[in-house]
Amino acid sequence: MFFLHYLDNAATTLVPEEVVQAMAEALRRHSGNPSSQYPAGTEMKKAVEGWRAVVADALRCESSRLYFTSCGTESDNWAIQAALWQNRHRGRHIITTAVEHSAILEPCKLLAQQGYEVTYLKPDRTGRITAAQVADALRDDTALVSVMLVNNETGCVFPVEEIAALLRRRGSDALLHCDAVQGFLKVPCDPEGWGVDMMSLSAHKLGGPKGIGALYIGQRVRNPRPLLPGGGQERGVRSGTEATAQIAGFAKAVELRREDYEGKLACMAALKDYCRTQLLTIDGMVCVGEGTAPHILAVSLVGYPSGNIVTDLGAQGICISAGSACHQGKASHVVSALGLDKKTAAGVIRISFSPDNTEADVDALCRALKSHRDSRFPML
């Protein structure tokens, strides 16, 4: 693994040794199937419930409301299907944003082909979405509102708490889902307190392993329809033998992230400010959006294609991204939605931080970007 400066933590995070050890311990000592009735199984069941309680406590919800999944994408898809099933007699209208993760947008495309009507809320040029936009789009036949907490490319924090309050005031039966994959343990996140019906999480965005996520399901969701029917694990609604080692790693990552939690947030926010200041000394560099999440900074080296920048810096051991890693080199729908001019849009890059990053990482990034600009021709 070759990198010297990892600044792509919104794509995935490095796994601390403590998380690796927690997973190894689960594999070595807790090898039973949680559904088995003999002691090894019941011991594992108890361990899983303990790990669930750790994650639920961080989310400020009851453990019984949190269900483990394979990833954030599964959680998103499950939430969409559960909401539409519950409100199948109410209507076939969905409200979401034009800048959601593909785990929301791609299912919505398929649903549109099945006769659902989808309203996509567009951000302003700063990347913001408002509760007023949801209010204007809300209809009697709206079955689902799905709005992310933190945009994964701009770092903009969306007003999920305000949207939940709006739905209550309007007396709407539409269920509210929030993809909080980029927001959990980085910005305030309180689904029960806010009145969010479902909220998606993923472990690998905060130092946990890949292959494990979770879905919070609130009390307004009645008998959530399983996305994966089968053996009836996770209290009968999410089948498949529990990924015990990944769950253990998820819980340990949460514990570690919560240690000196406020200090970690302050560290990332200060580093983001330092990075922004240093980058803006480069001729042609501009900020993109007004993201307030402490860990994501979007900028553009105007006229210099972002794919070339990422490749050049990657060869030097500096890891950043050209938007979401999930786009795999394709044009970003988020950047397109911002209405940027062609040259600005082409140069958009995302820098994303963890509490372990330092000013040395930023300094190396700035030197490499200056060198790239000075040694390459801009697009015509």
Task: Give me the phi and psi of 207, to 5 degrees please.
Answer: 95, 5
Gap between the terminal Cα atoms of the chain:
36
The answer to whether residues 211 and 70 belong to one domain is yes
Give the tens place of pLDDT for each residue, 256-280. Answer: 999 999 999 999 999 999 999 999 9
Cross-strand pairs, 216: 66, 199
Alpha-carbon 224 to chain mean position: 22
Q: Tell me which amino acid residue 254 is.
A: V
Domain boundary (196, 230, 258) is at 258
Instruction: Cite the active site residues.
Output: 326
16 within 8 A of 24, measured Cβ to Cβ:
no
**Number of compact structural domains in the chain:** 2
Angle between helices 102-113 and 72-86 (to 10 degrees): 40
CA–chain centroid gap for 316, Å, is 27
Is the four-CA dihedral 57, 63, 67, 70 of positive or negative sign?
Answer: positive
pTM of the model: 0.96
Domain C-terminal end among 197, 226, 258: 258
pLDDT at 325: 47
Flag whether 211 is in a domain.
yes
Q: What is the DSSP letter of 14?
A: P
Q: Under a CB-based contact definition with an 8 Å cutoff, are residues 337 and 125 in contact?
A: no
Question: CA-CA distance, 54 to 258, in Å (whole number)?
Answer: 10
Which domain CATH number covers 175? 3.40.640.10
Same domain (yes/no): 252, 298: no
Together in a domain, 105 and 130:
yes
Q: Please state the separation of Cα 143 from the chain's center in Å.
A: 23
Q: Which amino acid, 69?
A: T
Judge whether 108 lies within some domain: yes
| 22 lies in the same domain as 164 | yes
Q: Are residues 9 and 152 in the same domain?
A: no
Distances (CA, A) of 235 to 64, 67, 68: 9, 9, 11
Q: Are residues 370 and 328 in the same domain?
A: yes
> Which residues of the chain register pLDDT less than 70?
1-2, 323-331, 380
CA distance 219 to 359: 45
Same structural domain, 199 and 325: no
> Which of 216, 234, 258 finishes a domain?
258
Which residue segment(s) compose the domain that 241 sits in? 17-258
DSSP letter string over 67-87? EEES-HHHHHHHHHHHHHHHT
Residues 85 and 144 in one domain: yes
pLDDT per residue over 148-200, tens digit each? 999 999 999 999 999 999 999 999 999 999 999 999 999 999 999 999 999 99
User: Does residue 143 sit in the same domain as residue 57?
Assistant: yes
Distance, C-alpha 197 to centroid of its chain: 17
Does 326 lie in the same domain as 358?
A: yes
pLDDT of residue 98: 98
Q: Are 344 and 300 in contact (CB under 8 A)?
A: yes
CB contact set of 301 (below 8 Å; sequence gap of 6+): 282, 284, 285, 309, 347, 349, 369, 372, 373
pLDDT the model gives residue 328: 52
Radius of gyration of the chain (CA): 21
Residue 216 maps to a domain: yes
Q: Are residues 148 and 64 part of one domain? A: yes
* Residue at 140 is within a domain: yes
Instruction: Tell whether 61 is covered by a domain.
Output: yes
Examine residue 174 and state whether it is found in any structural domain, yes or no. yes
Polymer length in residues for the chain: 380
- Whether 380 maps to a domain, the answer reads no
